[in-house]
Amino acid sequence: MPAVDLPEIEFWFDFGSTYSYPAAVNIEKLAEVHGLAVKWRAFVLGAIFQEQGWPDSPFNIYPLKGRYMWRDMERICQTQDLDFNRPTTFPRNGLLAARVTSAAEGAPWLGSFVRQIFTANFVLDLDIADIDVVRSCLEVLDLDPNPILDAAAAKENKDALRTQTDRAKQLGIFGAPTFISNDEIFWGNDRLGQAITWAKRDA
């Protein structure tokens, strides 16, 4: 069964986004069960926040929302038996990891890489903007990091990520994670199941 025939679910995420972490852990398994192909769409959420007048994560700007989110993340990860440690820096800059994701579109190891980066940020409390951290996330998958990091740093790839963030804006995306399923937007980790079902509506 060639992957090209499967209905798709687009997963739009930022590596600094807390709720993107459980979604990233779960989406590939769920998609497989339901016969869907995952399209990994990293983007720069900060650029969208800035257009809404937020120079920082709304979880930092609005302390009540922030306090709730951290407790909510604990509960979600406990329920799912998922390791979670509140990062000492939030939000972390996921630009480099997003560039790797963009450069590696279609690679069979991409889902594993995405999960490694989220684990680095939200379990190991590592600075995912540090190229050595990104390098180790590739090495642990038995990949040679150098050609991948070179491709990530190429001008065409930087432009491709910028275009992808622009596309997020055009799609009306305002937060992460967001799923695009059958041309409709579903926002938030707790909508993953609904987005999966929606992808199969006309299938």
CB closer to a second copy, 56 vs 68 = 68
- Its sign, for the CA torsion 107, 5, 41, 33, is negative
Judged by DSSP in three states, 10 sits in strand
Site string for a second copy, 46-65 (x = CB under 8 A): ------x---------x-xx
* Pairwise CA distance, residues 141 & 128, whole Å: 16
- Interior angle at CA 92, CA 30 and CA 69, nearest 5: 60
* Pairwise CA distance, residues 4 & 149, whole Å: 27
Cis omega before residue 177 (within 30°)?
yes
Does the protein bind a second copy through residue 202 (CB under 8 A)? no
Binding a second copy (rule: CB under 8 A), the pick from 123, 141, 158, 174 is: 174
Segment interacting with a second copy, rule: CB under 8 A, options 10-18, 95-103, 125-133, 180-188: 180-188
CB of 192 to a second copy, least distance (A): 11
* Pairwise CA distance, residues 40 & 102, whole Å: 8
* Total residues at interface with a second copy (CB under 8 A): 19
Alpha-carbon torsion, ordered 151, 156, 158, 161, to 10 deg: -100
Does the protein bind a second copy through residue 184 (CB under 8 A)? yes
CB of 71 to a second copy, least distance (A): 7
Segment interacting with a second copy, rule: CB under 8 A, options 117-125, 132-140, 148-156, 183-191: 183-191
Residues of this chain that bind a second copy (CB under 8 A): 52, 62, 64-65, 67-68, 71-72, 75, 172-174, 184-185, 187-188, 190-191, 194
